[in-house]
Structure 1
Amino acid sequence: MSTHGAPKSAGFASHFATGHEDLVHDVAYDFYGKRMATVSSDQTLKIFNKSSNDGDWVLFSSFRAHDATITKVIWAPPEHGQIIATCSMDRTVKIFEEQEMEPPSSPFRWKRQYQMTPESRSAIHSISFPPTPSGGLKLAFISGDGVVQIYECREPQDLTHWISVDVLQILPSPPSRESEVSFCLDFCPSRPGGEMLVVGAMNTATIWRADKNGKFRAAEMLTGHHGLVRDVAWATSMGRSHHLIATACKDGHVRIYKLRHSKMEFVIKPLARGHGPVEGRRRLGAGLSEGLGGSGEVDSSPAEKMEEEEERWEVQKIADFDDHGCDVWKVAWNATGTVLSSVGDDGKIRLWQTAMTGEYKLMSIVNTPKSR
């Protein structure tokens, strides 16, 4: 699906000097959009505050956070205070917490509370916080060997204690050292429906879903990628009956997928030895008698036991754009999940929004200094 020939409005970005001495790899706004964090190959983390007078971004804090290129920075959910997580090619993830009693210029203003180092000692490519569960704070990160690790701080008032709660093997084997690699992940930002995670690994994108025991299992695939998946972004639902996930790909395409809850699957395994499992399905909202009774769908003989109940979701690719004409590196949704932005090697930011027909259309092109 292309938007060539569609009406386009051009905009220009207001840019400012960050003070970084090397390539800026990531930018993250806090929940309220009044603070911004940037990270770079110069190994520094910078915090900017938005001026209430003229709207300019003013440098608030700057310090060396890692011993190598910092690949990503994110803010924790706001209910836990001012907390930032970063990951780096130095093979670590770090948690920083603001110490408001310290002056902005103090090296102790942002205190490193915890450091996560995977056993594989691979570079960390991406990190993500899920919506805050009851009482705890979680973080997932993916390393260059294709392994996702999930940590939890069960008492967020003490960020010095984290434990590993899950490890996901995304790829059957790590990519070769000579290969160009790409790994990314993003938690579903909506609380209802349980924890879900989309993971981009090389040229694949997969949804992982937590079961009733809190362990993640591979679920639906987001198909159609013909190159490395550079970025994934899960939109806030905001009352929609479905989820939206966007991907950025090296093949030059921006893709949007719709994830809709369709039905449940009951997996029934026998208690008696020698009987194979019987599978039955019922629609959401159907009564127990329909799912297990005389409908003929499920044989609920005494020799069988219901082991688990799995949710099933339908995935539909609803948009596929190649307007960048080159590698696409980043995708991001706005706070309400209604506008998608993408950026590629053409140095332009494209904004996508649904039209009255329900189709996604190019809404605007923002020119950056490189593209002028």
Structure 2
Amino acid sequence: MMMDEEEEISVVQDMAYDYSGKRLATVSIDREICIWNKKDDWQRTYQWKAHEGPLFGVSWAHPCFGNILATGSYDKRVIIWEEPEASSSYSSSSMDKSTKGWTALAHLVDARDEVRQVQFAPPHLGLLLASGSADGYVRIYTCIDEADLHQWPLLTELDMDSPVVGMSWNPSVDSIPLIVVASHKDCRVWSMDNDTRRWTDWHLFRTSESDTADLSAVAWAPHVGRSFERIALGCEDGSILLFQFPRIQQGNKTNGHEMQPICRLNHGNERIVRLQWNMVGSILASSASDRMVRLWKALPQDGTRWNCFDVVHLNE
């Protein structure tokens, strides 16, 4: 990714690819939002400042809903942005790197502390947005009328008791609505009952009693062709915990059940910053403060033993 030499490089706090993988949104500590388009190289086509404090999170909605972004900030707000369809096809030479084409449609102000995470739900669940805050709550918003993107009523608040450090929707289309949320010490799976529309706490994941490291990241794997779920938890000490459990179906509630990890991976000694699965949930990528990305996969015929098969050094 190239930047103009005279431009200052700001500290990027989060980034998100759109569905096609040809556009990238980044948010930074200096309140800057940037949109990058992939041509021969990555080119910045939009650049503007928003919110009243550092930005911590960004997420694209599925393109079936249009060109929609959500950003979360230290100022305790989430802003919903929309870009008209015609603007997304402009070349970088025709853009002035401003907010031209992007409009703030809604300001969500329910959080009582900084918003650290924002994530749109998979499209089969509708236009849902989850925001995780340092006040210990995940708030789920819904856009009831997709023709009016200015209205985002609060659907529910999920109480995690301590600051939220990560969350991940279950991406599978044949599952009930599920989201996994990590705070510093606990990780819980929450589910929405399709009949009552109420959210309940179904599963509790814990590290062993001897572990003292706080949690720092979480990712839910797609279960393409599998009869079980996988969730990866990242920790402040550089370890990664993998959980594997039967698929959660409506009616088989196991509220309060504690799950133990099937294996522990060692990325290094630095804080795990992000975890990401591939499209079929067979390869896990982990990035940490050591500026390295490690790729992991299970040994053949043994889902409880994983090895690192590649390492990318980001400073090379």
In structure 1, C-alpha distance between the alignment counterparts of 2:44 and 2:249, rounded to whole Å: 50
Aligned to 2:14: 26
Counterparts of residues 191-210 of structure 1 (less than 5 Å): 191-210=173-192
1:36 pairs with 2:19: no
Choose the corresponding residue for 1:213, options 196, 199, 202.
196
In structure 2, C-alpha distance between the alignment counterparts of 1:86 and 1:337, rounded to whole Å: 27
Taking a change above 3 Å as real, the CA distance of residues 210 and 326 of structure 1, as seen in their structure-2 partners, is same
Q: What CA deviation, in whole Å up to 9, does each residue of 1:280-305 have, x standing for no partner?
A: xxxxxxxxxxxxxxxxxxxxxxxxxx
Choose the corresponding residue for 1:246, options 217, 223, 232.
232
Choose the corresponding residue for 2:62, options 77, 96, 117.
77
- Mapped contact 1:129–1:139 kept (Cα < 8 A): yes
- Mapped contact 1:20–1:42 kept (Cα < 8 A): no
Percent identical pairs in the alignment equals: 29
Choose the corresponding residue for 2:33, options 40, 45, 49.
45
Larger radius of gyration: 1
- Mapped contact 2:204–2:258 kept (Cα < 8 A): no
Q: Secondary structure at the match of 2:262?
A: strand
Superposition deviation, residue 262 in structure 1 = 7.3
- Mapped contact 2:160–2:183 kept (Cα < 8 A): yes
Superposition deviation, residue 263 in structure 1 = 8.2
Q: What CA deviation, in whole Å up to 9, does each residue of 1:209-266 have, x standing for no partner?
A: 11231211111112116322211111222232122111111122112211313788xx
1:170 pairs with 2:160: yes
Aligned to 1:159: 149
Superposition deviation, residue 337 in structure 1 = 2.1
Counterparts of residues 288-299 of structure 1 (less than 5 Å): none
- Mapped contact 2:202–2:253 kept (Cα < 8 A): no
Taking a change above 3 Å as real, the CA distance of residues 65 and 237 of structure 1, as seen in their structure-2 partners, is farther
In structure 1, C-alpha distance between the alignment counterparts of 2:295 and 2:184, rounded to whole Å: 25
TM-score (norm 1): 0.74
In structure 2, C-alpha distance between the alignment counterparts of 1:104 and 1:189, rounded to whole Å: 34
Aligned to 1:366: 312
Q: Secondary structure at the match of 1:317?
A: coil
In structure 2, C-alpha distance between the alignment counterparts of 1:365 and 1:253, rounded to whole Å: 16
In structure 1, C-alpha distance between the alignment counterparts of 2:178 and 2:248, rounded to whole Å: 16
Taking a change above 3 Å as real, the CA distance of residues 129 and 327 of structure 1, as seen in their structure-2 partners, is same
User: 4+ residue stretches of structure 1 with deviation over 4 A?
Assistant: 313-316
Taking a change above 3 Å as real, the CA distance of residues 353 and 115 of structure 1, as seen in their structure-2 partners, is same
In structure 1, C-alpha distance between the alignment counterparts of 2:249 and 2:216, rounded to whole Å: 31
Report 1 or 2 for greater relative contact order, CA contacts < 8 Å, sequence distance ≥ 6: 1
Q: What CA deviation, in whole Å up to 9, does each residue of 1:28-65 have, x standing for no partner?
A: 111111111111001111111111xx3x2111111112
In structure 2, C-alpha distance between the alignment counterparts of 1:79 and 1:263, rounded to whole Å: 27
Farther-moved stretch of structure 1 (204-213 vs 223-232): 223-232
Aligned to 1:327: 271
Q: Secondary structure at the match of 2:123?
A: coil
Choose the corresponding residue for 2:121, options 126, 130, 140.
130
Superposition deviation, residue 364 in structure 1 = 0.5
Taking a change above 3 Å as real, the CA distance of residues 21 and 67 of structure 1, as seen in their structure-2 partners, is farther
Q: CA RMSD in A?
A: 2.3
In structure 2, C-alpha distance between the alignment counterparts of 1:262 and 1:100, rounded to whole Å: 37
Structure 2 letter corresponding to 1:236: P
Q: Secondary structure at the match of 1:199?
A: strand
Choose the corresponding residue for 2:109, options 105, 117, 121.
117
TM-score (norm 2): 0.87
In structure 2, C-alpha distance between the alignment counterparts of 1:326 and 1:333, rounded to whole Å: 20
